[in-house]
Structure 1
Amino acid sequence: MEYDARITSAFAAPTERLEWVEGALKEMDQCLREFFIDNKTVYRTDFDPDTGESIYIASLPANIPSLAARKATEVINLVKETFDQCISSAQKSLGHPNFRDRKIGFPWGTDATQVEANIRQKGIDERFREVIFSHNPHFVGDDRNSADNYIRNIAQLANVKHTVGLAVRGDIESVTTPSIHIKSAKSFKILIPRWSFDKNEAELIRYIGDIDIKNKYKIIYTVIFSDTKFIQPVNAMKGLLFFAQLANSLNESLKIKCAEILQADHL
């Protein structure tokens, strides 16, 4: 869609930032792909002196590269800035003098009432109200950790002045080469694996005796946000991509709205 020159000029800043976001996402994705190519699952057997059991463990010894966390932080901050700049650009398109005001940014809120109040307080044109409310400006329902609210939680990470935390989650999908040779056993327990984010590993089998284990498990690794606000694991790449897509949608929706308003005013 072609826009009035006033709109194209006004929205140049958020459009450019979205290009930066795309670049940072690609760098983060490439960093993580290379990490998982270079680092494979390692199997070892430890001894638990408290129980006398041997423990067969799957682990990912390496830590996520700091570059990935820096890029995640860059994406979140750029997207949050894009939300703010979209509102400023929309105001500028319609000739509102307050478009340079520092407080003119996107009217995030904890609920719809606060968003409404922020729209008025920031002096945002009421004709943008519908577009704003269609882009997740507030929490939904009582559970802030629900799936409906994870984008709002990602947006709040921009308020924390440090690098975004990332962790690896490992999910056992299947046993690819089952091989357990029991010579003698006092006890033997195949466990339901629970991935430890602190240790980057999961206990698979506990036993007492002379047992040779050569099981290899198919483990699906996912990089998630480690911030405590996420009670349920959130895939970091998918979450950031959706957050960026939401900003792009806001940018395009506001340009369309501005074009409609300018056309109506011209008639």
Structure 2
Amino acid sequence: MADEIKIKIGIIGGTGLDNPDILADRREIEVKTAYGSPSDVLIEGKIKNVDCVLLARHGRKHTIMPTNVNYRANIFALKEQGCTHVIVTNACGSLKEEIKPGDIIFPDQFIDRTTKRHSTFYDGQDTSLKGVCHIPMDTPFCPVTRKVLIDVTEKLDIHHHKAGTIVVIEGPRFSTKAESHLYRAWNCDIIGMTTVPEVVLAKELGLCYATIAMATDYDCWRCDEQTVCVDDVMAIMKQNAHKATQILLDAIPAIAAKDWSKVLEKHKTASKSAVMI
């Protein structure tokens, strides 16, 4: 049973999906890590009696652009609070006709096009974790956590895509048409700005990490589609945020009901064995 190990779920809310009202008995915690301060206060509480910690990736007033998010502090803070899982939400653009605005996607692979971000906890600084970490990234997202999310989404009868490759760009600008067509030629499914290095850092700490991505637009590759803009993205997010919220509300108790001892031990072993000292 799940009481063999204490399950605590970190939730990183992306654009439009960081409402603290989903938590009962909530309280704010200010923390600072060896890697600096997270994007905002941590909000600790419960979802259906499961311990959770919510963090707004861009800050509660959305003041932090994707490049400037302190991903290391965010993930490290959740780990220090005892989180075993990190479930995140992301707004993304669709690179496939069949992935329509409003659809939910559970990515299983990524392509990294970022250039300016700290992507490891093992960077040689005095206050950082010691050694060099060559973390395996063949399976970046936790497949067991993804399956729970997918199963719940199917029961809710929410239109979704069980897998997909997300290409992660630096931002904050959107793609050129040439870039958008290039990513389509690479057979990418969706495009976003925040999955990397978040997923990599979670893997280094042995956390079960999975993404609930929501398509908000068709990027700019469609000739008959209006160019993507912030107003359109936010409109779709407001219309469909309830989908991601409902998935979280149903998936979290389903996660807590499982025995995660073997999965977490496997993640822990993989992260430890990747470090050379």
TM above 0.5 = no
The TM-score normalised by the length of structure 1 is: 0.25
Under a length normalisation based on structure 2, what TM-score does the superposition of the two structures give?
0.25
